Amino acid sequence: MAPTELKELKVQLQKLLDRGFIRPSVSPWGAPVLFVKKKDGSMRLCIDYRDLNKVTVQNRYPLPRIDDLFDQLQGATVFSKIDLRSGYHQLRIKDGDVPKTAFRSRYGHYEFIEMSFGLTNAPAVFMDLMNRVFREFLDTFVIVFIDDILIYSKTEVEHEGKSTTRGRPTRGKKDA
């Protein structure tokens, strides 16, 4: 890694540690790390999970087709978009699977406690959760695509009725 990448690696590792997303590891697993440059010039830390992904049983939860999602917007003219920041990191990894997420760097060996980008099943698991959370609103006025939520309406008045009070996901009542 270049000196600028090493400096960035220290910063990003510390942020992940401070947020409780990773912890030091003694796992026999250990994927390499690399950086990918974002459009804005900043660097995204990536873990090369290709070897782990090759031996992972695939979760076949279907991700929606973008064309199908756009079809739902027929007649809508007002939109609110929510992009969940660090969405995957809201999902805890099963304790028995945590050591498999280990990665190695010049500054230590770490493992993810929360879901990491790059894991083959992360999009499907997160999409399944989001669909369960927003189930009662899907195909009515909400579209969810992984960590992006779109609230749509035909008019501004109708859209105001879908404010945070009504638009907040609720848990369904359990049968007695």
- Which among 91, 19, 11 has a CA at the least distance from the CA of 45? 11
**Is 45 in a helix, a strand, or coil?**
strand
- Res 163: pLDDT: 57
Residue 66 maps to a domain: yes
Q: What b/e string do you get for 83-113 counting C-beta neighbours within 10 Å, with b at 16 or more?
A: eeeebbbeeebeeeebebbbbbbeeeebbbb
CATH of the domain at 140: 3.10.10.10
pTM score of the predicted model:
0.77
**Is 104 in a helix, a strand, or coil?**
strand
User: What is the span of the domain harbouring residue 99?
Assistant: 3-167
- pLDDT tens digits, one per residue of 139-168: 889 999 888 888 898 888 888 776 554 444
- Res 174: pLDDT: 36
- Number of domains the chain contains: 1
- pLDDT for residue 50 is more than 50: yes
Residue 71's identity, in one-letter code, is D
Vertex 110: Cα angle to 107 and 115 (nearest 5): 135
- Which among 145, 112, 140, 114 has a CA at the least distance from the CA of 128? 145
- pLDDT for residue 78 is more than 80: yes
Residue 121 maps to a domain: yes
Residue 174 maps to a domain: no
- Res 91: pLDDT: 87
Residue 173 maps to a domain: no
Residue 176 maps to a domain: no
Confidence bin at 87 (pLDDT 50/70/90): confident
